[in-house]
Amino acid sequence: MYVEDQPAFLNAACILQTRLPPHALLRGVKEIERQQGRNFDGSALRFGPRSLDLDLLFYDEPNFRVDEVDLNIPHPRIAERPFVLQPLCDLDPEAGRSALGSSAATMLQALSPLQSPPVRVTPLGRTTQNVLEWNGVPKAMGIINATPDSFSDGGKFISIESAIRQASNLIQRGCSLLDIGGQSTRPGATIVPEDTEQQRVVR
């Protein structure tokens, strides 16, 4: 039913507030998909790769329902999609109990084990290749300000040598991520040009 031979993709679930009724909200999310390059001319493979896919899982009250040709709420395929249920469980393991008679956690547990189950990741860039797999262990991030005017340590780590020493110090203290900043965020700081920020960070 689903196309399995396709590149890895990212899934997420969110809760939002809106004044739009269901059909207007659906039109809004479809317009977002269109703006992001999704193909709606009928040539795309059903359940195949797409640039963006936004679905409405639930709406308003727990037992709210819509059963029409162009819109079904709750979404009719929630229970068969681990890539939907897993991020939904991250939001609320009990989601769906009132509307579907079973919680997201129970539906996920009822599915057959997958050869490649969904894993929680943190995006680190603008492509799906730059992700950090979440293994359940908290990660500490150290910050190196390569700026002359940061309010706490401005000017301390401008040279490569001092920045490397600070990086080693942060790693020894348990940091697994390093954020190197080239723009001061102190109140009233001057916004520097992009090339200046890049020169401070990339040597």
Name the 3-class secondary structure at 91.
helix
**Do 53 and 102 fall within a single domain?**
yes
**Do 85 and 170 fall within a single domain?**
no
pLDDT for res 124: 67
Q: How far apart are CA 97 and CA 104, in angstroms?
A: 7
Q: Is residue 130 part of a domain?
A: no
Q: Is residue 8 part of a domain?
A: no
Lowest-pLDDT range of 25-29, 118-122, 127-131, 183-187? 127-131
**Do 37 and 110 fall within a single domain?**
yes
Q: Is residue 96 part of a domain?
A: yes
Q: Check whether 158 has a pLDDT greater than 70.
A: yes
Neighbours of 173 (CB within 10 A): 9
Q: How far apart are CA 26 and CA 35, in angstroms?
A: 14
pLDDT for res 39: 76
**Do 104 and 152 fall within a single domain?**
no
**Do 116 and 32 fall within a single domain?**
yes
In Å, how far are 17, 30, 53 from 34, measured between CA atoms? 22, 6, 10
Q: Check whether 24 has a pLDDT greater than 90.
A: yes
**Do 67 and 96 fall within a single domain?**
yes
**Do 83 and 153 fall within a single domain?**
no
Number of domains making up the chain: 2
Q: How far apart are CA 203 and CA 120, in angstroms?
A: 33
- Cβ atoms of 116 and 142 closer than 8 Å: no
More confident residue, 110 or 4: 110
Q: What digits encode the pLDDT tens for the residues 73-127?
A: 999 899 988 889 999 998 899 988 888 889 999 999 998 887 667 777 776 666 5
